[in-house]
């Protein structure tokens, strides 16, 4: 069960790499906002920290329109990009997933999710990262 958590969570992982991973996700959301033909008034990037048993769960959600269903299974692939016109490398999410799953015993997943803000409904991408908690002795 996912629960909201008020206290600090101590997680097991590499802080530098985690910052890099969060930056990748944030920059991708910003890219999506920038690429939209129609600029929207409210650009939202929400982060939440939850607890699920012995894991910390970090949820990052944007309202930039979501990921087309025909590519959502490919976004973690090496060199997959929809930004070939703007020097996209398709490496960011691939490296993030490698780092998270091979070196940190964590998981990353994505889904499209609706968000409501100021009486408007938006679609966006939601990334979920699960990281083991440091068990306190």
Q: Locate the DSSP E strands across 5-102.
A: 45-52, 55-62
Give CA–CA dist 65/22, Å, rounded: 19
The residue to which tokens 């940190």 are assigned: 104
Give CA–CA dist 8/4, Å, rounded: 11
Cβ proximity to ligand ADP: between 75 and 131 the closer is 75
Residue from 32, 57, 99, 100 in contact with ligand ADP (CB under 6 A) = 32
CA dihedral (44, 26, 102, 89) positive or negative = positive
Residue 5, contacted partner among ligand ADP, Mg ion, none, CB below 5-8 A by kind: none
CA dihedral (9, 107, 24, 49) positive or negative = negative
Query: DSSP code of 84?
Result: G
Residue 11, contacted partner among ligand ADP, Mg ion, none, CB below 5-8 A by kind: none
The residue to which tokens 């959600």 are assigned: 61
Cβ proximity to ligand ADP: between 45 and 49 the closer is 45
Least separation, in Å, of the C-beta of 19 and Mg ion?
15
Cβ proximity to ligand ADP: between 28 and 55 the closer is 28
**Residues 45-104 contacting ligand ADP, CB under 6 A:** 62, 64, 67, 75, 80-83, 88-94
Cβ proximity to Mg ion: between 28 and 126 the closer is 28
What residues make contact with ligand ADP under the rule CB under 6 A? 24, 28-29, 32, 62, 64, 67, 75, 80-83, 88-94, 125
């Amino acid at each position: 069960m996912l629960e909201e958590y008020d206290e600090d969570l101590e997680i097991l992982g590499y802080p530098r790499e985690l910052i890099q991973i969060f930056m990748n996700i944030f920059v991708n959301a910003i890219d999506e906002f920038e690429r939209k033909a129609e600029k929207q008034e409210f650009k939202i990037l929400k982060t939440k920290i939850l607890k699920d048993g012995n894991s910390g769960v970090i949820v990052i959600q944007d309202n930039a329109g979501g990921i087309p269903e025909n590519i959502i299974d490919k976004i973690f692939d090496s060199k997959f990009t929809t930004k070939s016109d703007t020097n996209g490398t398709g490496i960011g999410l691939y490296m993030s997933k490698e780092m998270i799953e091979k070196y940190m015993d964590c998981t990353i997943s994505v889904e499209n999710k609706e968000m409501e803000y100021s009486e408007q409904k938006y679609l966006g991408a939601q990334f979920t990262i699960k990281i083991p908690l440091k068990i306190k002795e």
